[in-house]
């Protein structure tokens, strides 16, 4: 019987990754317990071992790109990870009482971190890079694309579900003359968002989306659906429908997965986004039935790779100023988060979708606008 190390070496060879090799994506082992941790606990064991400095890779994003592109992760399905799948099936991890956990854990950890890491507008979702030279321009193009897809006109009233620091609302109010209402579960986002949008027709509400019950000309949700959870997809679409006027449009921007399994990544769920869950096309499609007509579907998931790499570059550059607020373990955790996700998008293991939806279908059809 082969040892854990021998088995991992055989697996990694299929992904062109060597143990203690001399290439940037090779895995440098500092403690042999890494192999048992990875085999018994999957990405949770691998991530915690990395945080504990038990292994390294010079180019962590390339390590994950090669790992995930090869598909070898499907050969390791430890029984202990079944618990995470069962947990999401049995319990509603995104109930109203639990929905606030991600706000407190992730978004409220400090605006200094996000101000340093993100673009000038503080957009914490995938940028649009087709004609952009840097992350500031790519995020501006994404916001402009969203406004065009929604067909915004002066005087319209727009709802932003999961509005963050108000980047979309600020852009839409300044450039399209619309009024905006945004809901978020983060106190820190409301505080900074209100400051950034001062003087604009923009309203922030510290509120769970399920409490919304008023109509808007347009509805948008950028990067919030990943926190909804499959048990709540129908309820979420019910809320979006009752808030969208009959002749209105709803733009849903979400990360997506290729297969409709229910297991959230245990490391991401524990350290980054509590109770998060990435949907599949079929799960979204089922939730849309008898509610919305899909007018447009746009996948630009490869752009998230560039976005995450830009975020890491900003974070790494700002670390000398940030490290007084965080410790070394946080740095390695955040690096692992940003670069492992970049590798996953590069490998096309996960996607980024924009859906344009209408309550009854647009008479005459809908054409996707260009920048």
Give the distance from CA 228 to its chain's centroid. Answer: 12
- Residue 177 in contact with residue 154, Cβ under 8 Å? yes
How many Å apart are CA 257 and CA 301, to the nearest integer? 10
Tell me the pLDDT tens digit for each residue of 71-115: 887 766 544 333 333 344 444 454 454 443 444 444 556 789 999
Is 341 a known active-site residue?
A: yes
| 8-state DSSP, 126 | -
Please give the angle made by the CA atoms of 25, 31 and 34, to the nearest 5 degrees.
70
Within the chain, what is the greatest distance between any pair of CA atoms? 71
Task: Note the pLDDT of residue 264.
Answer: 79
pTM above 0.75, yes or no: yes
Q: Which member of 126, 146, 197, 341 is catalytic?
A: 341
List, in order, residues 6 or more apart from 311 with CB less than 8 Å away.
117, 118, 135, 338
* Length of the chain, in residues: 371
List, in order, residues 6 or more apart from 270 with CB less than 8 Å away.
44
How many Å apart are CA 165 and CA 124, to the nearest integer? 9
Task: Note the pLDDT of residue 261.
Answer: 76
Q: Which residue has the tokens 């101000």?
A: 115
Tell me the pLDDT tens digit for each residue of 19-31: 999 999 999 999 9
| Helix or strand run (H / E) with residue 56 | strand 55-56
> Can you spell out the DSSP letters for 168-183?
HHHHHHHHH--EEEEE
Low-confidence ranges of the chain (pLDDT < 50): 1, 78-92, 94-95, 97-106
| Helix or strand run (H / E) with residue 89 | helix 82-90
Q: How many CA atoms lie within 13 A of 247 on its CB side?
A: 5
Task: Note the pLDDT of residue 273.
Answer: 86
- Helix (H/G/I), strand (E/B), else coil: 42: helix
């Amino acid at each position: 019987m082969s040892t854990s190390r021998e088995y991992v070496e055989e697996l990694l060879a299929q992904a062109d990754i060597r143990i203690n090799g001399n290439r940037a994506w090779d895995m440098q082992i500092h403690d042999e317990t890494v192999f048992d941790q990875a085999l018994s606990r999957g990405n949770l064991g691998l991530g915690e071992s990395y945080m504990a400095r038990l292994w390294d890779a010079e180019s962590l994003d390339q390590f994950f790109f090669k790992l995930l592109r090869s598909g070898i992760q499907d050969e390791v399905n430890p029984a202990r990870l079944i618990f995470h799948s069962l947990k999401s099936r049995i319990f509603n991890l995104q109930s109203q009482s639990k929905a606030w956990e991600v706000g407190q854990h992730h978004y409220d950890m400090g605006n200094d971190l996000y101000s340093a890491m993100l673009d000038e507008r503080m957009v914490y979702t995938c940028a649009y890079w087709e004609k952009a030279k840097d992350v500031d321009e790519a995020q501006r193009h994404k916001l402009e694309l969203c406004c065009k897809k929604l067909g915004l006109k002066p005087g319209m009233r727009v709802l932003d579900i999961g509005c963050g620091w108000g980047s979309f609302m600020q852009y839409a109010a300044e450039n399209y003359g619309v009024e905006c209402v945004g809901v978020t579960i983060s106190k820190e986002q409301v505080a900074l968002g209100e400051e950034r949008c001062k003087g604009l027709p923009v309203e922030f509400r510290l509120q769970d989306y399920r409490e919304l019950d008023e109509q808007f000309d347009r509805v948008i949700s950028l990067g919030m659906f990943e926190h909804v959870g499959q048990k709540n997809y129908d309820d979420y679409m019910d809320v979006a429908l009752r808030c969208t006027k009959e002749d209105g449009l709803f733009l849903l921007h979400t990360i997506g997965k290729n297969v409709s399994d229910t297991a959230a990544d245990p490391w991401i769920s524990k350290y980054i986004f509590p109770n998060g869950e990435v949907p599949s096309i079929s799960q979204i499609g089922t939730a849309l039935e008898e509610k919305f007509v899909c007018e447009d579907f746009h996948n630009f998931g490869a752009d998230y790779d560039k976005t995450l790499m830009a975020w890491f570059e900003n974070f790494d550059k700002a670390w000398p100023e940030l490290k007084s607020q965080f410790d070394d373990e946080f740095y390695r955790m955040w690096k692992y988060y940003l670069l492992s996700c970049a590798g996953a998008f590069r490998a096309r293991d996960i996607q980024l979708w924009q859906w344009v939806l209408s309550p009854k279908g647009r008479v005459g059809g809908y054409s996707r606008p260009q920048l």
